[in-house]
Chains A and B, each alone.
Chain A
């Protein structure tokens, strides 16, 4: 299935966005996020951006105070996921203009919409920024 979840967590470990591509209960999510965040935040810059956790592999990338964590299956191409994160950030950047943690917090639904355009069923389906943003911009215009 590829991508199992996408998390955005700030450096205090607070969740800023969470999207799961398989259903987990509230408790499971809570526990998982806690464990993963603890694991990833403890790592330093030199260490590689991939961490194994239970049966997930987590690919993470840090932008200023925000960590992007993507949980993937074992056979996923980690480097590609790393770049997928970057593509997501670039896309948000194009939409919000110099995106920051607060943008995501204030427009949580929009960040979700972008993710919805990019990932379906745990697969990366769209990587064309204008294709990703068109529906969101159209929606903005009409509302």
Chain B
């Protein structure tokens, strides 16, 4: 599975290449974040190489072609604290939405992180909006704890977030993130949630396991992805299983 790099330098007339599992059809109406990117980007001259590949778990199926993986993510970050549980990521009342139905998938995105308490004065998705302007979420310990609801990483991905960089994860959320490809779950070495502020411009360099905060000028080491690596690289659990011969190819 591939994760897009959300930068306004990527042209609007992208050709979407699809994987055998997760893909957007070229005719998809959701051209997402590329359209509504904030104006800050004109101030920051750093352009990031990225694959034009965008894959999402719940998009309509398309004929299979090769996947290429993104090498980085770039955009504004949204900072949360410790133990952000799945009820805060997507409150239970919204779980009647079925992630595998495209229109309900989009609705889930509009409710991402709506359960955060009022102490979070800046909302992740502005009221009235359906997408977020923050492509990277920076979290503390035990991110995604609580329920097994896959709606949680799905809501984050559907809202337009590309990656989460947390100090640590709860296991079901991490697993679901890897399985769906909705958000790339990265782990930091230190408490980035104390180093970064919502609205900072950050870049995550995957190959180098590095996060750069352009606003503060600091760089941070990230942990390598570990055992989930082969599954992510293959393109998710289905792709991995096909690749290793555990289930028949389609």
A and B together in one complex: no
